[in-house]
Amino acid sequence: MLPWILFCLIPVLACQVGGSEVDTPKDQAEATRPWNLALNGGLTIHGGNTRSRLLHGEINFGIRLDGFILDSDFETLYGRSDSEVIQKKGKWANAFTRSLNRRLNLFGQVLLEYDAIAGITLRTTTGLGLRVDIHDREKIKTTLTTSLNGEFLNYENPAPNQQYLRLHISLAMEARFSETGQLKARILYTPDVADLWRNYRLEADASLSMLMKKPMWVTIKLKDRFNNLPLSAEIRKNDLTLITAVEIRF
């Protein structure tokens, strides 16, 4: 249900926030600076009847030079309940875009992921495709990305590694509804080209950020991961995560 709610939310917000083609000028330093950096982290500790710890950390880095954009995102999530590990996963995502014209961009990505609970030692994804900038204004940015990706999967358990050729289709939105509030949402559909209707994953992300005092933000993130073909019957198809964090943006 969550992915479809987010899917419907993107065009609605795009119409409301992006109704005007006229942008207000950005801060001069932000407009001319070719890079951006954000540090995001949160820690939840419970020491009552049960003892649990949940740690989340994320680093976002971007650089823009003469029509070329590099976005790099490293994220890790670790949790324990008493002596049991209940969460241990992370990713390092790198996206490259090269502007072809006002709306069309050449797109490439390299993605490394691990998830100990799901049995994934390392999942490596590389691919090329196109990104279309549906809206590219100060208050609203909406992009549609399609790419063909090679995926290499290494298991934790003794089993043959697997390789897939997947189609990635992503719709993403970023809306700034005030100087102190920002909403981001994304839906990603990744079917296996050889088995479209059975071997697929559907990911939905949404985050709400509120400015406390520059450069500090408070962020709430909701991540939903649905894998129609998990590695084993013991692994659930759906994985929902809610994260609260403090973010520092440079």
CA distance 153 to 160: 9
For residue 129, how many C-alpha atoms fall within 13 Å in the half-sphere facing its CB?
A: 19
Helix (H, G, I), strand (E, B) or coil at 85: strand
What's the pLDDT at 91?
A: 95
Range of the domain at 161: 2-14+36-249
Give the number of domains in the chain: 1
Query: Is the overall model pTM greater than 0.85, yes or no?
Result: no
Work out the pLDDT band at 9, boundaries 50, 70, 90: very low
Helix (H, G, I), strand (E, B) or coil at 135: strand
Question: Would 173 be classed as within a structural domain?
Answer: yes
User: Using one digit for the tens of pLDDT, what is the confidence trace for 208-233?
Assistant: 999 998 899 999 999 999 999 888 88
User: Using one digit for the tens of pLDDT, what is the confidence trace for 135-148?
Assistant: 888 889 999 999 99
Question: Would 19 be classed as within a structural domain?
Answer: no
What's the pLDDT at 29?
A: 53
Question: Would 81 be classed as within a structural domain?
Answer: yes
User: Using one digit for the tens of pLDDT, what is the confidence trace for 73-84?
Assistant: 999 999 999 888
Which CATH number fits the domain that encloses residue 107? Answer: 2.40.160.40
Question: Would 103 be classed as within a structural domain?
Answer: yes
What's the pLDDT at 76?
A: 94
Q: Residue 169 in contact with residue 189, Cβ under 8 Å?
A: yes
Question: Would 77 be classed as within a structural domain?
Answer: yes
Question: Would 187 be classed as within a structural domain?
Answer: yes
Question: Would 166 be classed as within a structural domain?
Answer: yes
CA distance 4 to 171: 12
Q: Is the dihedral of CA 18, 23, 29, 33 positive or negative?
A: positive
Question: Would 137 be classed as within a structural domain?
Answer: yes
Token pair of 198, please? 């059975």
Return the percentage of the chain with pLDDT > 70, whole number: 86
